[in-house]
Amino acid sequence: MAYSRTRRLFAAFLIGWGLASTPALAVQPDEILSDAALETRARTLSRDLRCMVCQNQSIDDSDAPLARDLRILVRERLTAGDGDDQVIDFLVARYGEFVLLKPRFAWHTAVLWGAPAALLMGGVLILLTFARRKSRQPTAGGSPLSPTEEARLKQVLDGRQQP
């Protein structure tokens, strides 16, 4: 009895998790194009464009009025016959590179693209430097004692042990 109840709770949890993790698309029914191919292109483009209000959401996922305007603008441009690159270029010209969720690689974005690799390489170099310094330090049991040092140590230890 308890096994089946646990199993049902686990199944309900998985279903809830699955429903909660699906993206909430903000595209309104009146925005959807009747041509399925154009709508698919519009959705693909919308996923790569940043909502200027939300900033870390695509316009496809955002409920902001500006995102709605951008979705409509993308669909208007596609209906007018623009290609995907033309639509992106138009939006970049109007709103700047910030409208792209994944900025293009160019000289002015080289730091943005190169910084993670540079930081990773810097961290590896720091770790290697510390590892080399650590290996150069003498260890506690490094060199054995000379016979005179052993005798002196024995005297000291024997002196402590006697009451």
**Number of separate domains in the chain:** 1
Residue 163 has pLDDT above 60, yes or no: no
CA–CA gap between residue 95 and residue 105 (Å, rounded): 17
Whether 47 is covered by a domain: the verdict is yes
pLDDT of residue 128: 92
Per-residue pLDDT tens for 85-140? 999 999 999 988 888 888 777 777 778 778 888 999 999 999 999 888 877 766 66
On whether the CB atoms of residues 70 and 83 are closer than 8 A, the answer is no
What is the end-to-end Cα distance of the chain in Å, rounded?
A: 71
Q: The CATH number of the domain where 58 resides is what?
A: 1.10.8.640
Examine residue 71 and state whether it is found in any structural domain, yes or no: yes
Give the structural domain span for 53.
33-105
Q: What percent of the chain has pLDDT over 70?
A: 81
Tell whether the model's pLDDT for residue 161 goes beyond 70: no
Count CB-CB contacts under 10 A for residue 54.
Answer: 15
pLDDT-derived band at 12, boundaries 50, 70, 90 = confident
Per the prediction, the chain carries an average pLDDT of 81
CA angle 16, 18, 19 (to 5 degrees): 65
